Amino acid sequence: MTRGASLTPVVLGGFIAGACDITYAVVYWAFRGASAERVFQSVASGLLGMKAFDGGILTAALGLFLHFFIALVLTFIFYLAGTRLPVLVRRPVITGTTYGFAVFWVMNLVVLPLSAFPRKVTFTPVVVITGLLVHMFLIGVPIALGTRRALTPGLQAS
């Protein structure tokens, strides 16, 4: 990154990824009868366990905050990797989809089981397929495109 280059595209990519992910979750669970508040509380349950579901709007707000915090952390991990491995920003669609694929599995096989999330992680075909597609194209790609914009000279707005 050149001196004075903006991190705005990186942050924007992270917020777009977070917004796409949470929108997918809210819509998916709405079709199964869950409210957005319940979805956000589910995120907070990774920190609070079952108590998250008794906290009303406060734990829902915490869950929404945690969701975007995680999205931004994942974004800055990719950004830091991109500063050291320029190949990551040369082909952002390929590297973004690969990153999204990896993020899906790390979240479901490592992060959730190690958290206070109160349910066993299960893998039904529809959840795996839709989850992978969302993570690859709506999370990984925006993160990679934002990183590319921040790290590639000539793509910065003047």
Residues 138-150: pLDDT tens digits?
999 999 999 999 9
**How buried is 21 (Cβ within 10 angstroms: 0-12 exposed, 13-18 middle, 19+ buried)?**
buried
Cα–Cα distance, 76 to 66 (Å, whole number): 15
pLDDT in tens, 28-54: 999 999 999 999 999 999 999 999 999
Cα–Cα distance, 157 to 4 (Å, whole number): 12
The alpha-carbon radius of gyration of the chain (Å, integer) is 16
User: For residue 9, which amino acid is it?
Assistant: P
Determine if the pTM surpasses 0.95: no
